Amino acid sequence: MMTPGAPVSILTIVGARPQFIKAAAVSRAIAARHDVTETIVHTGQHYDANMSDVFFDDLVIPRPGRHLGIGGGGHGAMTGRQLELLEGVLLETMPDWVLVYGDTNSTLAGALAAAKLHIPVAHVEAGLRSFNRRMPEEINRVVTDHVSTLLFAPTATARSHLLAESINPDAIRLVGDVMYDAALFYRDRARMPEGFSELGLAPGGFVLATIHRAENTDDPDRLAAIFRGLAGSGQDVVLPLHPRTRQALASLNIAIPDRIRVIPPVGYLEMVWLELNCGSIATDSGGVQKEAYFHGKPCVTMRDETEWVELVEAGWNTLVGADADAISAALSDPRCPPGRAELYGDGTAAEQVLDHLVASGNSQNRAPT
């Protein structure tokens, strides 16, 4: 049980670069108040050579207080090792809340380790569902939601998914999306990728494409169809080429058409610049679908399902799978729908998360371990 009047202590668990960007929105909000303290633990799930001092400085992200160095291996081995080491950290620190983000193995391990120690779990991005249990991320989302004490839903759709699974309505908070907070913060810090000006493309005159999901890169037919679709759109396409995709193209001997301009992978601030300056976006990334909407760009999603169904329903996102003709048609004349509903909150999700944690933290009772 927390000490009355003491700051609420939060232990934040992250394991991948996108989670750092989400967590940074909450960390910045924590820095502006005196009733919350935070320790950040990086499991090391995704080794990223770009997470250098420059990464943290440019993105104004606090460095983790702990780095567990757990990376590689299968899902079971990785999650089990994370569980083991996170349990030790939690027993040592005994925070008032464990805060987890999204749907990685680190999310699941953090939630399970805390729940077994009767430490309240708060899940940011709760309630997302693709309804595809073949995706490891879907399993991670569902289990994390069902062991969480507070569930921060980014959208009304996410809240409805949680209610449909009989989760207590009193545990759900509809706060908006912390990635919208991040988009607003980083928009003015965006920068052009090095060498982009040499492509000779005008602002708004190109499609920004990202392809990295295993369901596409590991399937020769899907990958070839995606590139045919991009090339058949009649648009200039800029593709920051993910290493996994590059390797798949080489192994399958798939040639990249001339109108697809390949550039090296870019950092987050460069990606924001590309999103702001493109005409439309074609992607298989979950996060980029939302970022397209945040920056007012029509999006074509090269997947068979999406967690962000509200974007499809609102007309901002067209789901095309790996159908070459559907990709070409959707990109040949992309349009933004009239109006723009506030689907992801008002940019204050981080502050709302903390308000709820502080208010709930004062009434949390923890069972003995």
Active site residues: 212
Give SS3 for 269.
helix
| CB 140 within 8 Å of CB 194 | no
The DSSP element (H or E) to which 12 belongs, if any, is strand 8-14
Radius of gyration over every alpha carbon of the chain, rounded to an integer in angstroms: 21
Beta bridge partners of 10: 38, 97
Listed in sequence order, the residues at least 6 apart from 267 whose beta carbon sits closer than 8 Å to its beta carbon are 50, 55, 58
Cα 74-97-358 angle, rounded to 5 deg: 145
Q: Which tokens go with 91?
A: 């027993």
| CB 262 within 8 Å of CB 186 | no
Residue 75's CB is within 10 A of a number of other CB atoms, namely 12
Counts of helices then strands in the chain (DSSP H, E) = 15, 13
Note the Cα 110 to chain centre separation in Å.
Answer: 17
CA distance 67 to 64: 7
Cα 317-319-320 angle, rounded to 5 deg: 135
The DSSP element (H or E) to which 101 belongs, if any, is strand 97-101
